[in-house]
Structure 1
Amino acid sequence: MKALVSVILALFINTAVAETVHLTSLSWPPYSDKSLSEQGASVAVAKAAFKAEGHELVVDFFPWTRAVKMASEPNSKYLGYFPEYKYDTSEFVFSDAMGTGPLGLVQNKNKPISFTTVVDLAGKRIGVVQDYVNTKELDDMIASGAIKGDAVPSDDLNVKKVGSGRIDAAVIDANVLKYLLNTDPSLSEFKNAVEMNSVMLEDKKLYIAFRNDAEGQKWQKIYNQGLTKIDVNNIMSNYLK
């Protein structure tokens, strides 16, 4: 009887402290999108990690700039946003890594570019997505004007510009390019016209950016603990295969 009471008490305590966490994200398949199974690979990881700690994750999807802004506002119900690359900021604190994404350049098959390091891209017109973090070296060279950065609101627009020869190449995650070419009807005419350059810029780690306040820091720790209880690589690889 005493053991039964202990079990009931433990269940009551776990239920009592269970909370719902709200985060923002964007349409960035296959990592995140409200129409995908489990809302994407990164969302599947995040939900599993929070569930391992007894909590539920609810993700709302917005255009990227708005997703970041809403997560940064004081007293917002949104405690952070994801998936994000780590960068220098005082507004957010980052979780432990929740998978990786191969970042490189999509190029026109008829006009491939040759480079070994980012420095070799000087003078090229390279497409980027507005407000995305790329690599520090690439972003610094674009900021200085050494590389001609061409910013657009989404990856699919960059693929179209590369395919039509309007820019030399564009920064994109290889998994994102594969997904877009296989599922986006508006890219059908470019499916055989573009490809990933064989040189990768970086295998970027993915994170949740939690708002840098007491509440955000609290949930950062809870989430990180949850990550230790799940197999992140298995979830990601099964989703992306």
Structure 2
Amino acid sequence: MRIVLLCISLLVGAAQAAADEVRLTNGEWPPYLGQSLPHQGIASRIVAEAFALEGITVQWDFYPWARALMLAQRGQRAGTAVWLRNEQRDHDFYVSDPVVDSSYYLFHRKDHPIDWQDVHDLKGLQIGGANGFDYGAAFQQAEADGSLTVRRQTNEQVGLRQLLAGRIDVFPMDKTVAFDMLHQHFSAAERAQLTFSPKPLRSDTLHLMLSRAVPGNAELIARFNDGLKQLRDSGKIAQYLMEVQQPLSLAP
């Protein structure tokens, strides 16, 4: 009898431990996300601490973005962080309350100013972009119908290099990501050559997504949202964002 009770206790304990962990996919997008970053990036930190307030530990698995999304979509991982929401993702996932804001701006050289109000004003410019990035419905449509000439690059760092070399006129990037990349991989002299248009190309929110294919995720997203609200109300999210945004500048 004691052996039976011990086995039952171990099984209950294992089930409880499993219930207190969530396995999520992640990718590389400093300073928001990154395997080698402190706390795996600011967005990862927010997700993990929001879950922790609900007694749940996050296990991160890092993959290229397409695979990270696919694994979560199929239910091979509980979910993935962090993403723009759209109709398809709302269909496949439970989408959380906003984790962080993201605003894309048009970066350009200081010696090549631009003036624009909508994407059609960009016609005639050599525009850069990164493979797989969505720059908003108006931009994507103008690119698709040929109204804009967009040269997609393998990644955002290549795009900034192309901009500095004068091979493109503008390159859209999330401002926080751009500032971080410019400070990590470019010299002060290179940074001093660049600026950005004050009008955002798109402003959105980024979200944790939990797969609808995984049982229990409807309840789990509700718990996450509760923890996220607690974390935001504590002022810690604003504090963490300030830590990565405050030092960033294009000044040499």
Alpha-carbon distance, 1:135 to partner: 1.4
* Number of residues of Structure 1 aligned to a counterpart in Structure 2: 226
* Equivalent position SS for 1:197: strand
Corresponding residue for 1:82?
A: 81
Residues 234, 20 of structure 1: alpha-carbon distance in 2 compared, 3 angstrom cutoff: same
TM-score by length of 2: 0.80
Contact 1:160 1:190 in 2 (8 A): no
TM-score by length of 1: 0.83
Corresponding residue for 2:166?
A: 165
* Equivalent position SS for 2:203: strand
Residues 53, 128 of structure 1: alpha-carbon distance in 2 compared, 3 angstrom cutoff: same
> Which deviates further from its counterpart, 226-235 or 170-179?
226-235
Residues 47, 162 of structure 1: alpha-carbon distance in 2 compared, 3 angstrom cutoff: same
Corresponding residue for 2:245?
A: 240
Corresponding residue for 2:99?
A: 98
Corresponding residue for 2:208?
A: 208
Alpha-carbon distance, 1:168 to partner: 1.8
What letter corresponds to residue 84 of structure 1 in structure 2? W
Taking the aligned partners of 1:132 and 1:207, their CA distance within structure 2 comes to 16
Alpha-carbon distance, 1:111 to partner: 1.6
* Equivalent position SS for 2:52: helix
Residue by residue over 1:149-174, the C-alpha shift from the partner in whole angstroms, topping out at 9 and shown as x without a partner, is: 22223211111111111112111011
Map 1:86-235 to 2 at 5 A.
86-89=85-88, 90-185=91-186, 190-215=190-215, 216-231=217-232, 232-235=237-240
Corresponding residue for 1:30?
A: 31
Contact 1:106 1:197 in 2 (8 A): yes
Identical aligned residues as a percent: 23
Taking the aligned partners of 2:162 and 2:67, their CA distance within structure 1 comes to 24
Alpha-carbon distance, 1:16 to partner: 3.0
Contact 1:24 1:60 in 2 (8 A): yes
Corresponding residue for 1:3?
A: none
Q: Structure 1: where are the runs of 5+ without partners? A: 1-11
Contact 2:135 2:202 in 1 (8 A): no
* Equivalent position SS for 1:230: helix
Alpha-carbon distance, 1:91 to partner: 2.7
What letter corresponds to residue 84 of structure 2 in structure 1? Y
* Equivalent position SS for 1:198: strand
Contact 1:99 1:206 in 2 (8 A): yes
Alpha carbon RMSD of aligned pairs, Å?
Answer: 2.4
Alpha-carbon distance, 1:80 to partner: 2.3
Between structure 1 and structure 2, the one with the greater Rg is 2
> Which deviates further from its counterpart, 193-202 or 40-49?
193-202
Residues 132, 208 of structure 1: alpha-carbon distance in 2 compared, 3 angstrom cutoff: farther
Residue by residue over 1:129-149, the C-alpha shift from the partner in whole angstroms, topping out at 9 and shown as x without a partner, is: 222232122122222221222
Residues 190, 239 of structure 1: alpha-carbon distance in 2 compared, 3 angstrom cutoff: closer
